[in-house]
């Protein structure tokens, strides 16, 4: 069969999932071609995780300068230059893109710079040249795109995360609409760099899906850092006022700002991709429907990453792409386990979470024990920073297994990566207790919480 095809695997989209699948498949000996219409590396490298984290680092210096005084430092009033940050960030992204390209080439993958669309179950057409490529297998790894939400007057004036990375100047003021992690992170980035930030979200509190205490703790900390958070409201219209904008809220309020940013969600990139010509179907949430092996209803077409709208994170897309390559060419059918994915929100302060929230645990487990610590970190004693850390363990009261861990505070993202190993292995609260503390750290609270702050028993409640 391979003889009648030009390639064994055609990958559409050179982002996190596509690049990994292509490289591993080529390593297994497959003939692989990958098409990318924008830049190699995809969302994460070009306009997602990586540039965002660089901006996060930049934004946190303001807090460090403020904290330094209590430790005896006197620092001349610091000044910040946005064009320097953006130029340095762009240089690093160029370097990374080149590294991704070179790694693909070294693996023997053929790269085509073109938009690719599906013609039928084993043909892909390259729009730049019009060439048709016959592929034994096709992997759709086209990612997702910022979604402007409902159509409102003046929506064209709003920027998304894509444009936020390339603004010519730091906005003196910005209205950010959205309550998900991207909206929250950008609100904190701009505030840390010195913008006046208003976050507008239609729900009752930011970060839907996260533990309720995490949500309220972060909101309080953001407000304490000067971010105005307005919930239960929507931006209904945007008007241009010379070089500024007015965001009109659903309650009639008007917020004037230098920029209005929308971060209200992302939608899978399937428009005009031709999936229907091959018979590939979508799930109710709009993502391409796949099984545990990332196989679509068409046996030789697979889909990984954000286009499947499962867990929209880079490490997940990478793992899915790797698994497809192993399944197809490694002689090892590999399904990806989407349970217990640790994740971070790079807000200020940071969040790290894994597993069940208290609400989810109480809805699904018969007995739940909650252990909680809300404390002032040691560093804050001299810096006089009023911020507090929150750590919370959600324990399955029937088995003693730690079902969830939620951290808000400095280093939360780093901590949750390691807690993630223990939780994935099925560690119990007794295992946490048996682990010696590392002192003095904030993380030691995770192994020194002795008494539950709450205990729930469903039978008793019923």
344 by DSSP, 3-state: which? strand
Neighbours of 180 (CB within 10 A): 19
**In angstroms, what CA-CA distances link 20 with 299, 365, 397?**
21, 37, 40
157 part of the active site: no
Q: CB of residue 12 vs ligand FAD: minimum separation in angstroms?
A: 5
Helices and strands counted in the chain (H then E): 14, 22
Token look-up 């959205």 returns: 178
Residue with Cβ nearer ligand FAD (191 or 313): 313
Q: Kindly give, in sequence order, each residue whose CB lies less than 8 Å from that of residue 214, ignoring residues fewer than 6 positions away.
A: 207, 351, 353, 357, 390, 392, 406, 408
- The yes or no reply on residue 14 touching ligand FAD (CB under 6 A) is yes
Minimum distance, C-beta of residue 459 to ligand FAD, in the bound complex (Å): 39
Q: Identify the residue whose tokens are 């507090």.
A: 388
180 near ligand FAD, judged by CB under 6 A:
no
- Contact between 273 and ligand FAD by CB under 6 A: the answer reads yes
* Site map (CB under 6 A) of ligand FAD, residues 225-264, x = contact: ----------------------------------------
In the block, residue with structure tokens 């020194």? 448
Residue 142: CB minimum distance to ligand FAD, A: 4
179 touches ligand FAD by CB under 6 A? no
- Nearer to ligand FAD (CB atom), residue 128 or residue 364: 128
Give the residue with the Cβ less far from ligand FAD, 330 or 342: 342
d(CA 135, CA 9): 6
Going edge to edge, which strands form the sheet with 254-257?
235-241, 244-249, 254-257
Please check whether residue 179 is in contact with residue 206, taking contact to mean a CB–CB distance below 8 angstroms.
Answer: yes
116 binds ligand FAD (CB under 6 A): yes
Q: Choose one: 44-52, 77-85, 238-246, 420-428; the region binding ligand FAD (CB under 6 A).
A: 44-52
* Residue whose token pair is 């407000």: 223
Q: Which of positions 52-71 make contact with ligand FAD (CB under 6 A)?
A: 52
42 binds ligand FAD (CB under 6 A): yes
Cβ-contact 317, 306 below 8 angstroms: yes
Verify binding: residue 352, ligand FAD, rule CB under 6 A.
Answer: no
DSSP per residue, 81-141: -HHHHHHHHHHHHHHHHHHHHHHHHHTTPEEEES-EEEEETTEEEETTT--EEEEEEEEE-
Judged by beta carbon, residue 161 or residue 282, the one nearer ligand FAD is 161
Is 447:436 a contact under the CB 8 Å cutoff?
yes
Please give the structure tokens belonging to residue 343.
């994740």
Q: Does 142 sit near ligand FAD (CB under 6 A)? A: yes
Q: Measured from the CB atom, is 269 or 296 closer to ligand FAD?
A: 269
> Residue 309 and residue 302: Cα distance in Å, rounded?
14
Closest CB 385 distance from ligand FAD, rounded Å:
24
The residue among 70 and 315 lying less far from ligand FAD, judged by its C-beta, is: 315
Site string for ligand FAD, 310-349 (x = CB under 6 A): --xxxx-x--------------------------------
Q: Which residues on adjacent β-strands are paired with residue 164?
A: none
Does the protein bind ligand FAD through residue 115 (CB under 6 A)?
yes
Return the residue of 179, 287, 305, 352 that touches ligand FAD, per CB under 6 A: 305
- Binding ligand FAD (rule: CB under 6 A), the pick from 16, 327, 347, 383 is 16
Which CB atom, from 117 or from 167, has the smaller least distance to ligand FAD? 117
CB closer to ligand FAD out of 45 and 446: 45
Rounded to a whole number of angstroms, the minimum distance from the CB of residue 98 to ligand FAD is 15
Burial 58-89 (b: 16+ CB within 10 A, else e): bbbebbeeebeeeeeeeeeeeeeeeeebbeeb
Helix (H) or strand (E) holding 77: none
Q: Identify any residues that bridge with 246 across adjacent strands, giving them in sequence order.
A: 239, 256
Stretch that binds ligand FAD, among 48-56, 99-107, 243-251, 431-439 (CB under 6 A): 48-56
CB of 391 to ligand FAD, least distance (A): 21
* Binding positions for ligand FAD, rule: CB under 6 A: 12-18, 35-38, 42-44, 48-49, 52, 115-117, 141-143, 161, 182, 269, 273, 305-307, 312-315, 317
Q: Which residues are catalytic?
A: 439
């Amino acid at each position: 069969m391979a003889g009648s095809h030009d390639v064994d695997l055609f990958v559409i989209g050179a982002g996190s999932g596509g690049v990994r699948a292509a490289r591993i498949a080529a390593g297994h000996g497959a003939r692989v071609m990958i098409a990318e219409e924008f830049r190699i590396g995809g969302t994460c490298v070009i306009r997602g995780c990586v540039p965002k984290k660089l901006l996060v680092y930049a934004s946190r210096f303001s807090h460090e300068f403020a904290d330094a005084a209590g430790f005896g430092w006197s620092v001349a009033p610091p000044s910040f230059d946005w064009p320097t940050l953006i130029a340095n960030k762009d240089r690093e992204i160029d370097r990374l893109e080149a590294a991704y390209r070179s790694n693909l080439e070294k693996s023997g993958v053929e790269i085509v710079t073109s938009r690719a669309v599906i013609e039928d179950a084993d043909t892909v057409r390259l729009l730049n040249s019009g060439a048709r490529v016959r592929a034994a297998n096709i992997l759709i790894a086209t990612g997702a795109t910022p979604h402007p939400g409902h159509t409102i007057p003046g929506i064209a004036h709003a920027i998304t995360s894509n444009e936020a990375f390339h603004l010519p100047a730091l906005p003196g003021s910005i209205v950010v609409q959205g309550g998900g992690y991207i909206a929250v992170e950008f609100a904190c980035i701009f505030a840390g760099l010195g913008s006046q930030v208003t976050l507008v979200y239609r729900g009752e509190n930011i970060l839907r899906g996260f533990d309720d205490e995490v949500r309220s703790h972060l909101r309080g900390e953001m407000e304490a850092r000067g971010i105005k958070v307005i919930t239960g409201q929507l931006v209904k219209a945007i008007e241009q006022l010379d070089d500024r904008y007015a965001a009109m809220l659903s309650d009639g309020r008007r917020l004037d700002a230098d920029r209005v940013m929308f971060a209200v969600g992302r939608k899978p990139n399937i428009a005009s991709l031709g999936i229907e010509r091959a018979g590939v179907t979508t799930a109710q949430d709009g993502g391409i429907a796949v099984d545990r092996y990332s196989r679509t209803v068409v046996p030789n077409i697979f889909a990984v990453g954000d286009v499947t709208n499962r867990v929209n994170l880079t490490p997940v897309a990478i793992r899915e792409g790797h698994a497809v390559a192993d399944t197809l060419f490694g002689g090892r059918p590999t399904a990806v386990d989407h349970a217990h994915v640790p994740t971070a929100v790079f807000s200020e302060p940071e969040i790290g979470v894994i597993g069940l929230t208290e609400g989810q645990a109480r809805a699904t487990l018969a007995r739940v024990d909650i252990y909680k610590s809300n404390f002032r970190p040691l560093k804050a004693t001299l810096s006089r920073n009023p911020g507090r850390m929150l750590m919370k363990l959600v324990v399955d009261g029937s088995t003693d297994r730690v079902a969830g861990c939620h951290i808000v505070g400095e280093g939360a993202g780093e901590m949750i990566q390691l807690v993630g190993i223990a939780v994935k292995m099925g560690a119990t609260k007794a295992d946490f207790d048996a682990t010696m503390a590392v002192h003095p750290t904030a993380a030691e609270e995770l192994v020194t919480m002795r008494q539950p702050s709450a205990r729930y028993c469903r039978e008793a409640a019923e």
